[in-house]
Chain A
């Protein structure tokens, strides 16, 4: 297989909304045939890790990332289990016990996240606290998804942070994707880098930062409607009435020309 073939598969899959990756894979298989299978699985592995996709493992979602990866497997420090991932179906397989578990501080953060998520998020949520190489640092991940293919839409919120428990510095990114595709294809994307340098409580700071993101998004919506959309096409002409089509349509131009001439 040429490398350009694999690059195309990778690029197309990386572009898919998270609620429709399976449909995209089905379409790609129809177009490229079974020869695409290997490239598709490879691309799906990258996709799921990059987009913090929750994987269903024994009835609970586990976010997979580079920080809970062990060889080709992933672990869940909450339940101390190790599992392989069926990347096409987003499920954990070959689940076994392991000795990975949260420290007391990590456990505390995880429990605070639990409260924050249940009060502020309405989708299917998943969240995680994972150790990083630096023992002072943890990675915090949040995902909220809602897929409604029957109504032609789906949405995906994800945020990822690094929190230094020693310096109390919190830094992260929030990404919001909404896709609506009834009689068309409409995509809303918003991405924002956020930080708080004196986060004595990481979860309280996350909540404040994410509320700010929500407010900013709301303001951006109004701005796009008022400043961008309205300038593209008027609801009605300046005359406030529909056009009188036909032989006489040229009078609009005559009217305009004479108005312009009067200004000269």
Chain B
């Protein structure tokens, strides 16, 4: 096992509410791990406000970070602002991909409103390979859809969907969406009870290209496909989280202590006494 694999194994075992602290400690033990771990370990998302877009909130992760700033999906500017010299090196999506990104942010903002009734959403896209077709339609690209609810409250939900969109087949007639989803769910009661952690799953779905699409049609098509797959994945994972958090943990608890066995015996003897009493009447 490499140090990187060992670090990932450790983070899967240690207290999920302390993932950031443990991540920092592991990096102190072996600074060479920093880049790989920061890129692959999901931590609760940070929220920033975009001064270029009426202080609208956006989410921050390693994918929209440059130096200590994060690119806002609303204005496409880095916050806090970077110098002109720094910006020369900063990553931005191509025009074709940025157009899809704008549409995706608008659509997932509606999705967020309908399912989360609050919270914050952000979508970031980046190009893979050639920027665009001759006519400006996006080719292969990748991205991340982020949704967060419950900042500054006892309980929180962070959904992180990292995906690749790849054209496939000899005639490039298929497009495949490969999505890795992590949901970080922390629940705390007023009493000293914590139910916290994360679950991850991978999904792959292919769609047949419906003939030739204009750049605008292509963007709408991609966002529709992504949207419906992510909507389905989140619904399935919400069920899975409910089962693991509220049923599985209780089942495991009963493998430690179960007083119902004794209670059943007691109830039975009480019941027998009642029956005896009735018979004696």
Contact = CB atoms under 8 A, between A and B. Distances in A.
A119 to B, nearest CB: 5
A150 B256 CA distance: 17
Nearest to B217: A247
Interface of A: 4-5, 8, 11-12, 15-17, 20, 23-24, 26-28, 30-32, 119-123, 144-146, 148, 153-157, 176, 178-181, 183-192, 207, 210-211, 214, 216-217, 220-221, 223-225, 228-229, 231-239, 242-243, 245-247, 249-250, 252-253, 256
Contact of A121 (B188, B249, B257): B257
Nearest to A237: B114
A225 B246 contact: yes
Contacts of B10: 12, 24, 27-28, 31
Contacts of A20: 13
Given A221-B246, A250-B106, 13 more contacts: A8-B29, A11-B25, A23-B9, A120-B259, A121-B256, A122-B255, A178-B253, A190-B194, A216-B191, A232-B149, A232-B156, A245-B231, A252-B110
Interface string B192-233: 111111111100000000000000000010011001100100
Please tell me the size bucket of the interface on B.
35 or more
Nearest to A238: B114
Given A15-B14, A186-B244, A192-B192, A180 B253 contact: no
A120 B14 CA distance: 29
17 contacts: A8-B28, A28-B10, A28-B29, A122-B255, A155-B256, A184-B199, A186-B198, A186-B245, A189-B193, A233-B149, A234-B115, A235-B238, A237-B115, A243-B227, A245-B227, A245-B231, A250-B110
B157 to A, nearest CB: 4
Contacts of A225: 242, 245-246
Interface string B242-271: 101110111011111111011000000000
Interface in B1-24: 1-3, 5-7, 9-18, 22
B28 A156 contact: no
Contact of A229 (B3, B117, B245): B245
Nearest to A7: B25
Contact of B248 (A180, A232, A250): A180
B92 interface: no
Contacts of A217: 193, 253
B273 to A, nearest CB: 20
Contact of B22 (A15, A23, A235, A252): A15
Nearest to A20: B13
B279 interface: no
A210 B262 CA distance: 14
A49 to B, nearest CB: 20
B58 to A, nearest CB: 18
